Amino acid sequence: MLIELWEKLRGYDKWVETQAKIEQSQMREVRHTNRDGSVSYTYSSSDVLTWVDAQGVTRSADINVDDQSPLYQFVGGESVTIRYNPRDPTRFYYRDLLRSRVHFFFRILLFGVVLSTFILLAVCFRIFFGR
């Protein structure tokens, strides 16, 4: 699978595997005013992830995910498996977070491609059938 290849290329497979805990999770609502004056909202979750490294030091990191991510469902107290860099225990890798970010990237990319195609077709239509 591609994700395992990515992990090997980045060296994550050599990092220390441990259990981390979602200490707290806060939902954030962002209000958007649309061109027509209507209001819509998007939601995201800000979570604090904590783990203990090999020296017994508690580490933490903030993670943010949008409402389309499966990680959005965390409410705090869940345990997840992560890997951290033994040379720099503040750096961590969480596979599901990577998946979530890749999915978000591809949704944005797809939207851009569709929008660009629509604009290109509109321009072509105007050139060939325009006034």
Number of domains in the chain: 1
Predicted TM-score (pTM) of the model is: 0.65
Per-residue pLDDT tens for 46-96?
888 899 999 999 999 888 877 767 676 776 778 889 999 999 999 999 888
Q: Which domain holds residue 20?
A: 2-129
Q: How far is CA 62 from CA 22, 47, 66, in A?
A: 10, 6, 14
Q: What is the pLDDT of residue 40?
A: 85
